[in-house]
Amino acid sequence: MERTFKLIKGTLISIVIFAVMSLAAGLLLAVTGLPERYGSVYLMIAFSIACAFMGLYVGNLFGRNGLLSGIVFSAVFLGIVLIVVSLCFRAFISTEALTFQYLIPLSFGGIFGIIGTNLKN
């Protein structure tokens, strides 16, 4: 039961990290002269950092299988965020929208899952 609460805590922290970084990217786009055509790149950076934290947290929590647990829980995190975003805009994300660019955050989750597994408590 304690592990479940820790997983929920890690997921919520990752969601907060993603939300803050997305808002910061939106603010930078609105205030500065950064080109808006790179908006998806900014969001992929935010996704990658949030998935890196998720992989690090889960890898440290489980203590083994860091690559697998980092990728799986990063995929769950990405799914949660994509479902929430699609519900906010009343349009479900189609399978054509799920491109290879989402493999970048998943790889960050896997790499940091390995690092989290090797960290000392």
Tens digit of each residue's pLDDT (9 = 90 or more) over 42-76: 888 999 999 999 999 999 888 888 899 999 999 99
Confidence bin at 87 (pLDDT 50/70/90): confident
Question: Using CA atoms, how far apart are residues 67 and 69, in angstroms rounded to an integer?
Answer: 6
Which structural domain range is residue 63 located in?
A: 2-118
Are residues 78 and 106 in contact, defined by beta-carbon separation less than 8 angstroms? Answer: yes
Which of 77, 75, 60, 49 minimizes the C-alpha distance to 113?
60
- When divided into structural domains, the chain yields a total of 1
Q: What's the pLDDT band for 16 if we cut at 50, 70, 90?
A: very high
Cα Rg, the chain, nearest whole Å: 15
96 in helix, strand or coil?
Answer: coil
* Residue spans of alpha helices (H) in 32-102: 39-62, 66-88
* Tokens (6 digits) for 68: 């697998």
- Can you give the pTM of this predicted structure? 0.86
